Every structure is written in structure tokens, then in C-alpha cells.
Amino acid sequence: MESVKKKEKEKEINLNNPRLYINRELSWLEFNRRVLEEAEDLNNPLLERLKFIAIFFTNLDEFFMIRVAGLKQMVSANINKPSFDGLTPKEQLKRITQKTKQLLRETELQYKKLTSELKKESIYIHKYSELPKNLKKKADKYFEEFVYPVLTPLAVDLTHPFPHLPSLSFNIIVEMISEDLKFGVIPIPKVLPRFIKLKEKEKEEHYLYLEDLIIHHIEKLFPNQEIRSIATFRVTRDADIIIQEDEADDLLEEIEKGLRKRRFGKPVRLEINGGSEFIFNFLKDELEIKDYDIYKLEVPLNLSDLWSLYKEIDRPDLKFSPYVPYYPPQFNIDIFNALKSHEFILFPPYESFDPIVELIEEAAEDPNVLAIKQTLYRVGKNSPIVEALSKAAQKGKEVTAVVEIKARFDEESNIVWAKRLEEEGVHVIYGIPGLKTHAKLLMIVRKEENGIKRYVHLGTGNYNVETAKIYSDVSYLTSLPEIGEDVSKIFNVLTGYFHPPNLSKLFISPVNLKSKILEMIEEETKLGKEGRIIAKMNSLVDPDVIRALYKASQEGVKIDLIVRGICCLRPGIKGVSENIRVISIVGKYLEHARIFYFKADGEEKIFISSADWMPRNFHRRIETLVPIENFQLKRKLRDILEIQLRDTAKARILMPDGSYIRPKERNFNSQEYFEKWVRQIK
């Protein structure tokens, strides 16, 4: 009888109906709106709010360079096939434009409010015309000594074509009244600070926009010319690199070529402030873009540069209180001894990332360590981990680094230190053709009294000591033989010839990670109202997984999802997803961990993973799904999930229409709570 009812239910509701899904790109824009909300939140310190505006614009730049550029490529290729939410590429672009312009209007208002509030704190971001006389003199002197010598004014006339400007370059355009010279372009040099510090009094800080100083002295750059109009503008270009790996003899060389092409890809966006209609139409024609690709702003462009101002201003009272990550006392002794008999879950940035760095550094020095193998996706500049791997190779150990040089926007950095590692004798492997290596794996092989022992780290985040201070991630440290054996097999696959390895504990993409997730959801679905799923991730996009969650909800399974960014699932739809709740937490720390909990008929199965629930993670990347079986570690992960589900201060609740609302009472901040909690747990 129950199976008959189930079949009737499936006939009634078509889970392939596009209306049941939120568009990926529009969901991402909603995420960036939540970032903007942090700039508006009066509970955040003033300079932190300014920083969130910088994050908003940095995010938007990447979105246009990759996602919008990709949609434009589809339109150019006459691809009209709708995504699983029912929108064609052209329809998506139209809605993206509308939503982005709305968000920019909100951001302009917020930026003006923040600069006004900064004045109350004796921090002034001036236009040149607002400067008092004594500061104008300082500014003029700075222009003569530092700015003027590095500027390159570019004429645009019959003999001087419009310059080919790199993506995200910031420029001034000048319209002149002249038969010979109509326009001039001045690239604003990156080597100079965007905000020029002009200090008048000890308790006051005065800054001037670099472009405003240049504009005031524009006659010196185009002497004897009558200037009609001036604007600042910025071009965003398609930055997606398509690497023909099968044809590339040297992947490293191919990536480097791609990076050079990225700087001059096809324009996808023009941002402009000021100027005449003549300038507007001139840029539009030269860049060959449409009106809907042009964004007129009333505030200074390139506000991602507010990062530099945030770092420059030394006002601890206007920033988050500094937090020192908790260093678990278990690691005060020899790390290898600690790992011989215990497994550990670390929770950066609340708990220190240092034990992982120290483990690699000790392995480099330890004469009993025979080999170190590690995947590297994003490690940052001046990495102590890269230094330790170099040292280990110098000392004669077998060191292997699987470097993902296709890590978007980190390719150039990764190439530099990958070459350096090769010079030091490290075996540098550039992954598997057609797949990005996104798994976070470290294995240390050590000779001990009873034979060879493997020490392993698996994580949800990158081996980057800087982002480990602000990204919330999970690290698992163990010397369990079964895990070590599996990790060893995965490394053999990465460095040798790809074939599906026979693993006893771990699951990997693109082999069986997705099928394991679907299997676990199906098990809960069979339990009906006794089922329970809690999943924390960055993004939820995969339609097969979403349909499986809908089916589980239809059977009464209670599902809580903590999804920081994109979520294509619509919760709260009667008969489909009324048992699903989705929250997004955006705050002081970037929520980056992937933790999946399944009740499993009381057995409680918990996994951590490098993978979000997205098609790219399931099919086009090497990813890991790691079962955590130790009772205490499972309890710690379950507590992390439960604490985040209680958040009312930084959590937003996803509504069926794709919008997010905040709880009425905002009295519990999970991120603040974790700072104390990690010091109390045993």
C-alpha cells in the first residue's frame, strides 16, 4: 500500500520541473548581497564594514570574469539550451544585469554612509577640491615627486589607436576639443597607493584618491589642449582559460600562455564614473560592448582597493578584536607520538593551523621520515609549507607535490613556487589531464621500530597559513593504517596513471563520491520521519542530489542545510521540500568547511569532504569524502553543526523564492561562540 502511495506522489509532482530550482548565478548574486549586508550591519566595527564593501567588489569582479563571460560565450555560440532551472543563457544575462545594477545602487548608498561615518572618527577620504590649502600643497608635492614621473598619457587619434587595456586596469579618459587629438587615456599605475595619505594632525587621518590627484593635474599630461570632459573607467575581460591539455606538450607552458591571454580577453563589462555621452559612446564602440554591459557608478571605481585602506589605518578600536587561535595542548609534545595513539579534528581558525605546519616542518627534519607526499591547491605567498618541502628534498627525502596549476586566479603564483620546488629536487606533478586536483591530502611515511608507518592529514581547506586565520575549515589528522593505505593509493593514482583505486574507507571523485552521497540520502529516505540529514558546504548545485533531497523531504526526513554561497534548492515548497531548512552564515570568518551528517538509523555517520555538492566537484575534480568513525571526533563535528544551526546573528534563512531573510531575534553568533567553545571542549 505504501509503495502505491509513493508512486502516486511521484506522479503528482514532477521533480524535474524547472520551477523547483533556483538559478545558480542569481543565487550567487544573493550571496554577494549577504556580503553587502555585513557592510550595513551596525554591529560590525566601522573598518570591518568598509572591508566587506571591498570583498563585495572583489567577488563581483571574479563573477563577471568567469560566470558572466561564460554565459556570453554561450550566447555568441547560439546556445539557447536552458539550465535545469529553466533559464536560457540570454535570460540569465538579462536578470544578472538587473540584479547587479540594483545591488550597485545599494552599495553606492552604503559607501557614502560609511565615508560619512569615518569622518566622525577623524578619518577623511577626500576629493582634491575638498582639501584644505596646506594639504593641497602636500598633495601637489606628492604628485610632482612620485606620481607624474610614472604616468604614461596615451593619445588616441588617427595615428594612435585606442590602447588594448588589460582586464581590471583602472584608467582615466580625457575628451579634448581639438581637430587633431580627440581623446587621451591615462592608465592609473598599480605601483602607487590608491589612497594617498596626507597627515595633518596626530589624531586625524587624511587620504586622497590617486585618480583625483591625477585629474586635477591633467593639463600637465596634455598641455595646450582644451579639455571638455573627464571620466574614470575600468574594463573587465573574459578570464576563463581553456587549456588544450591533449595538445600541450608542456602543461606549465600552456598555462603561462593562457595567463597572458587572460589579461586581454574579450570585454564583458565596462564600469564608468563621470564623462560625457561622447566618451560613453566612444568607449562603447571601441570595446564593442552593449549598453547593458555598461555600469555607471556615482562612487569611485575599483573599490576592491578598500582592502589596502583597511590594512593601512591603524585603528584597532574600529576593527574586530584580534583573536588568537587555540593551540590544543596535545600537540605540545612530539606530534608523531601524539598521532600514534590518537586521531584529531582541528577546527581552524578557532583552533590553530600551526600543528599541521609543524608536522610538515618536523617531517622535513626527522631522519626517520622517508617520504612526504602532498596536494597543493592554494598555498599563498612565502609559504612555510613550501619551505619545509624544499628543505625535506634538500635533506634527501622523497618529496612529491601534486600541484594544481589550474587553480583559478592562483595559477601564476602556483607556477612560480612549483618551478622552485622542482629546482630543489621535489617531484612536482601537475595532476591528471581533464581533472583538477582539489583534494587536500598530506601523507608522511616514517620508519619506526615496528616497520613503516603513515601519518595522514585530510582537510576541507587549503594548505594556506594566511587563509587558515579567516577561513573556517576542518582538518583530520590520523595514523590509522586503513586511511593511510587509501591515501597512498590515491597518491599513486595522481602521480601514475589514473585508474579507479580500490579504497577501503575513503571515497573519491570522479569515481564514487557522488554515488556515496546519493546512497546516504537514500538510506535516510527509507527511514522516513526517523531520518535526519545535516549538511554544511559552500555550494549546492547538483540537480541529482537536490532531487534526492526533495524525495527524502517528501518521505518526512528532517533536513538542515548550512550553505554559505550558491543554493539551487528551493526549501519550504509544500509536498516537495517542506521538511528542508536552508541557512547561510556570513560573518567575520569565511565558512569553508564541508561536513555531512546522516542519522543512519541511530548509527550516526559523519563525513568531511573537500567537495561541495556541485557537478564540477563530482565529475571534473579529484575530491575526497572522508568518514569520521572515532566517537569523540564525531561528537565534535556534530556539535559544530548543531551550534551553527542555532545561529541567529549571522544566519540568513533561504525562502522558496530564492531570497534570504534574517531571524527576528539576532542574539546568538555561532562564530563568536566557537572562539570560546574550542577552549572548553575535551
Q: Which three cell numbers stand for residue 510?
A: 570522479
User: In this structure, are residues 96 and 26 in contact, taking their beta carbons and an 8 Å threshold?
Assistant: yes
User: In this structure, are residues 108 and 298 in contact, taking their beta carbons and an 8 Å threshold?
Assistant: yes
Among candidate residues 216, 438, 457, 592, the one labeled active-site is 438
User: Alpha-carbon distance 677 to 666, whole Å?
Assistant: 19
DSSP 3-state of 403: strand
Which CA distances in Å does 135 have to 197, 201, 420? 10, 11, 46
Fill in the DSSP letter of residue 405.
T
User: In this structure, are residues 558 and 577 in contact, taking their beta carbons and an 8 Å threshold?
Assistant: no
What 3 state SS string does 200-246 have?
CCCCCEEEEEHHHHHHHCHHHHCCCCCEEEEEEEEEEECCCCCCCCC
User: In this structure, are residues 583 and 653 in contact, taking their beta carbons and an 8 Å threshold?
Assistant: yes
Question: Comparing C-alpha atoms, which of 507, 504, 524 is closest to residue 516?
Answer: 507
Q: What angle do CA 657, 658, 663 make, to 5 degrees?
A: 95
Note if the bond before 267 is cis, omega within 30 degrees: no
Confirm whether 438 is a catalytic residue: yes
| Straight-line distance from the first to the last Cα atom of the chain, in angstroms, rounded to the nearest whole number | 49
187 burial via Cβ count (<10 Å: 0-12, 13-18, 19+): middle
User: Alpha-carbon distance 129 to 396, whole Å?
Assistant: 64
Q: Which three cell numbers stand for residue 389?
A: 618541502
User: Alpha-carbon distance 569 to 656, whole Å?
Assistant: 9
Strands 195-197 and 183-187: unpaired
Question: Comparing C-alpha atoms, which of 317, 303, 390 is closest to residue 47?
Answer: 317
Q: Which residues are part of the catalytic machinery?
A: 438
